[in-house]
Chain A
C-alpha cells in the first residue's frame, strides 16, 4: 500500500483536486469532517491529512511514502527527502517586508520577526547581515506595526494583508509552490507507482 500525506487547509483542497484530475480519488476526501484517513482501494493507496508543517516529518520518517508540502516548509525544515516535482499550485513568495517608510540602517542589528527562522537566518547570513530573530507563530505582519521588529520574513500571496497594514515587500527570498516529496527509501521500492503518479500529475498541473 502506498501512503500519501496531504496538507490540511486551502493547499490540501487544491492538491486533492489535482490528484483527482490525475485519476487518483480518495473516498470521502471532499467532505473530510473529522476523518483523517481516506482510501483508494483500486490503486491500493491511502492518504491522510496532517498539518502542512508536518507533512515533511511524516515523509522523512517513512510514515508516508510520498506527500505534498510547500517549498517554504522544505526550505525551513530541510528534510532528507526527494523533492520530485513542482506541482505549480499554491504559488506565492517568501519575502522580506517592512513598513512603507522603512529605512534599513546597516549600523544597527536588524530585528526580524518570522515564522521561518531558518530561512531568515540563512538569507541574512548570505548577505553577511547581523540579525536578531523574533520567532512568532502567526500574525507576523503586526510585529513592525507595533515596533516589535524592523522587518518580517513571511509568505506573501497577493500582498493584500501587507497593504492593509501599511507594509511593502523589501526583497523576495524565494518563489514558492507545492512540491511532491518522497521518502528516499520508499522511492527505491515503490518507485514504479510513484513515477506513475508523477506522470499523471504532470499532465494536469
Chain B
C-alpha cells in the first residue's frame, strides 16, 4: 500500500506539483464562512487552549485554495496527502479518511484541464495494479442547460442513478436530457453525437476537444453524463474513477471555478481531484493473508544464539519471522519451525 502512495506522490512531483503540507486543524469560523462550499456536512470541533473553537479538517481543498496567490497567467500546482475527518454515510459517525490529491488553481486553460485528467488516469493505473480501471467524465456546463430549476435536486439524483424510467415521469424533463444520460460511453463520434443531442455547438466542441487529447487512453475513458456532483461546488468538467473489484468510486474531482471565485479570487479558475486511498484496502492482497511467513516456536532450554541464527536465516531469505514461546491464537503462518534443545 505504501508503495502505491509513494508512486502517486512521485507522479505528481514529476508533473511539477509541489507537496502542500498542512496542519491538522483549522479555525471553525473558516468553515462557517464557507459552509456552502463544504462537501461534508459535519465538522468535528474542539476548543483550543485560548478558548477558540477549532475544527479537524473535513476537507483539504478549501485550506489550499485560501493560500493561493492570484498572479495573471500563473497556474499554481499542489498535491497533498492528508487525513481528513468526515461523517460516514454508512454508520453516521466521524471517520478518519486518507486523502491524496492534486489542485491546479489560478490560470486554468484547456491544457491544464487535460493535464489533470491525464494525472487522474495515471493515478488510477497506479492504484489498479493491472486490474481494469475507468474514468467517467461528464461536463456540468453542458448538463446544467437541461436541468429544470424546479426539483433540480431530485432530478440530479435520478440522473446519478441512471433512472430513466423515473426521469420520464417529470413533465419538465427534456427528452434530450434523457438522451444525454443514455449517451454511448465511447469517444469515437463524441462531437457529432453531442451536437445532435444538445444542439449547442460551442460547448460540444470544447468538451470533445479536451477529450480527444486523451484518446491514447482508449477505453479507460468513459463519457458518462450520469456522473454528477454538487453544483454548489463544481462546474464544467467533472470525473470519477473506478477500479474493477472495488465497489465504490476511488477518485473524484472536477473544475470548481465557482468555489474559488466565491472565496475572493475573482480572476481564477481551478481543477483538482482526490483519491480515496482507504478504499484500496478492499482489494485483497496475498501479503495480507499471513501474520508472518515463518513462526518459530522455541524450547525453554535452547540458547539465545541458536534462536538468533535461525531468525537470521529466514530474514536473509526476505521472509517475515515471528518468534514465540507458544503459538498465538488465530495466528496465520506459512511455515512453522520448532527449535528444541
Contacts and interface: CB of A to CB of B under 8 A. Distances in A.
Interface of A: 60-62, 80-86, 179, 183-186, 188-189
B247 A186 contact: yes
B222 A60 contact: no
Given A62-B247, A185-B248, 19 more contacts: A60-B247, A62-B248, A62-B282, A81-B161, A82-B162, A83-B161, A83-B162, A83-B165, A179-B165, A183-B247, A184-B242, A184-B248, A184-B249, A185-B242, A185-B244, A185-B246, A185-B247, A188-B134, A189-B134
B183 to A, nearest CB: 14
A185 to B, nearest CB: 5
Nearest to A187: B162
Interface string B198-234: 0000000000000000000000001000100000000
Contacts of B248: 62, 80, 184-185
A84 B162 contact: yes
Nearest to A64: B247
Given A185-B249, A188-B134, A188-B242, A86 B165 contact: yes
The 5 A-B residue pairs with the shortest CB-CB distance, nearest first, are A62-B247, A86-B165, A83-B163, A83-B161, A189-B244
Contacts of B163: 82-84
Interface in B124-181: 132, 134, 136, 160-163, 165-166
Measured as residues with beta carbon below 8 angstroms from the partner, the interface class of chain B is: 10 to 19
Nearest to B224: A188
B246 to A, nearest CB: 6
A185 B242 CA distance: 6
Nearest to A57: B90
B243 interface: yes
Contact of B166 (A81, A83, A186): A83
A80 B161 CA distance: 7
B256 to A, nearest CB: 21
A84 B163 CA distance: 6
A199 to B, nearest CB: 14
A186 B244 CA distance: 7
Contacts of A189: 132, 134, 242, 244
B238 to A, nearest CB: 15
A81 B157 CA distance: 11
A183 B166 CA distance: 18
Contacts of A83: 161-163, 165-166
Contacts of A184: 242, 247-249
A53 B226 CA distance: 25
B120 to A, nearest CB: 15
A95 to B, nearest CB: 17
Given A185-B243, A188-B222, A189-B132, A85 B165 contact: yes
A189 B243 CA distance: 9
Contacts of A183: 247
B136 A188 contact: yes
Nearest to A190: B244
Most A CB contacts (10 A, CB to CB) among B160, B161, B243 go to: B161
Nearest to A182: B162
9 contacts: A60-B247, A62-B247, A84-B163, A184-B247, A184-B248, A185-B242, A185-B248, A188-B222, A188-B242
Nearest to A61: B247
A5 to B, nearest CB: 13
